[in-house]
Amino acid sequence: MDVRIDHVRKEFGRFAALDDTSLTIHDGELVALLGPSGSGKTTLLRVLAGLERPSAGRILFGDQDAASLSVQERNIGFVFQHYALFKHMTVLDNVAFGLSVCPARRRPPRAEIAARARRLLALVQIDGLDRRYPDQLSGGQRQRVALARALATDPRVLLLDEPFGALDARVRKDLRHWLRGFHDRTGHTTVFVTHDQDEALELADRVVVMNAGRVEQVADPDTLYDRPASPFVFAFIGDSSSLPATVRAGRLWVAGRALGPVPAADGPVRLFFRPHHARLADTGALVGRVVASRRQGDRRRLDVALRPDAPSDAPSDAPPDAPSDAAGPPHSADLPRPGDAPAASTPVEIDVATDAAPPVGASIRFDITRPSLFPAPAAPRRPIVVAPRPGTALAPPGPKPDRAHAAG
């Protein structure tokens, strides 16, 4: 069953937690809602579950408008971040709870409820723990109990709110692999909230990136990482650096140096690149100084401060095989012009092989092998200051004089 979110808006007082949000979740799909704190992802999950009512827009389960459905009628399985297990109940009773409180006309016999609960415990691979209580379980085991309980009523849609947020890193990684395999076996339409991008990229069929109550991009993990749709997505997904740049006569200029031709209109732009999309080169277009170096697996991550407004070594019209001493003084086309983007003040990050890493303090040259360009952000408006007319004195600050006294 497809789930459609149609121009949904959710307000809390004057604050819009969701702002004209639209999304379609396909039957059997595993979808991640990813974003920073306050982006609206948990609010969207609660609206889907019926725990919050949208201020505007519609939620459709198949062709049915969910506005007419209660929380129970939606038949949603919800897994909370902190499990919400009943401490006074055994694992088996926790899993069976949803079935045992069904209306009498839909409630299975007690023996069938117990049998279904045991099958679910076997499905989530904790069938030997049915007589234990929640405080006798590890965090990962509690999460599996919560998932089995959510599945007991055979929900149409499964919702998970940061399901691994309370677990340590190693357990999270193990459960991610387990949950992906579990979804592939059961085929439930599943939506989960996370702020962990590795979790989203590893688990989901598609990732919904949210920011300030709006959907920035919906894509499969490969597209999201390789072709981000906005500067926010590029900066939020994976490691990246950005630089102010300028396109002039079809060429990209950064810190006063030409990087090469680009298919973009002239004007200021913002250049983004991944650390592994930079390459050390003796003739690299960009020049900088290594200000920090740290180990990243089998690579080293360098923080590089660009040399501001460094001119090119040769004029732009010099032949490519011209010797460096024939270049003469910097050509006017290679110098920064009024209106060019300023040089970056924040170091950029580049990855290099460990055995080829230059030391801190070294000057290096490098190229950006895969630049991504976005329009430069609009400059903030400057306040308008009205100058007084010549010969007019400005009144000092203070209370206005009493009119009657002034008239006397």
Encode pLDDT of 279-311 as tens digits.
Answer: 999 888 899 999 999 998 889 999 999 986 544
Among candidates 51, 55, 47, which has minimal Cα distance to 5? 47
* C-alpha–C-alpha distance, residues 155 and 44, integer Å: 18
**Between the CA atoms of 221, 225, 229 and 233, what dihedral angle is there, to the nearest 10 degrees?**
100
How is the beta sheet containing 363-368 ordered, strand by strand? 278-280, 363-368, 286-296, 299-306, 348-353
Tokens read off for 34: 């990813």
> 10 Å Cβ neighbour count for 254?
23
Residue found by looking up tokens 């692999």 in the block: 177
Assign residue 57 a region (left: φ > 0; alpha: ψ between -120 and 50; beta: otherwise).
left
Which residues are registered as beta bridge partners of 71? none
Rounded Cα gap, residues 309 and 306, in angstroms? 9
Q: DSSP of 173-219, one letter per residue?
A: HHHHHHHHHHHHHH--EEEEEES-HHHHHHH-SEEEEEETTEEEEEE
Give the per-residue pLDDT at 253: 92
Alpha carbons 175 and 164: distance in angstroms, whole number: 8
Domain residue ranges of the chain, discontinuous segments joined by +: 3-234, 240-313+334-375
Instruction: Please choose, from the candidates 309, 30, 29, 52, the residue with its C-alpha nearest in 3D space to the C-alpha of residue 21.
Output: 52
Residue 275 to residue 391: CA distance in whole angstroms? 59
Strand 64-65: give its sheet, edge to edge: 15-25, 3-12, 56-61, 64-65
C-alpha to C-alpha distance for 273 and 51, rounded to whole angstroms: 41
Q: What's the Cα-to-Cα distance from 353 to each of 272, 279, 280, 305, rounded to whole Å?
A: 21, 10, 10, 19
Report, as ranges of residue numbers, the positions in the chain whose pLDDT lies below 50.
310-343, 401, 403-408
Q: What is the largest CA-CA distance in the chain?
A: 98
Encoding tokens for residue 273? 């690149």
Beta-bridge partner residues of 292:
303
Residues facing 368 on adjacent strands? 278
- Spatial separation of the C-alpha atoms in residues 85 and 135, rounded to whole Å: 10
39 secondary structure, DSSP code: S
CATH class of 3-234: alpha beta
Around Cβ 25, how many Cβ atoms within 10 Å? 22
Bridge partners (DSSP) listed for residue 366 = 280, 286
| pTM of the full structure | 0.77
Helix, strand or coil, per DSSP, at residue 327 = coil
Interatomic CA distance for residues 62 and 71, integer angstroms: 16
Q: How far apart are CA 105 and CA 85, in angstroms?
A: 26
- Residues 42, 162: Cα–Cα separation, whole Å: 9
- Helix 91-100 and helix 110-123, axial crossing angle in degrees, nearest 10: 130
Percent composition of the chain: helix, strand, coil (DSSP 3-state, to 5): 30, 30, 40
Tell me, what DSSP letter sits at residue 355?
G
Q: Residues 250, 269: contact at Cβ < 8 Å?
A: no
The amino acid present at 292, given as its one-letter code, is A
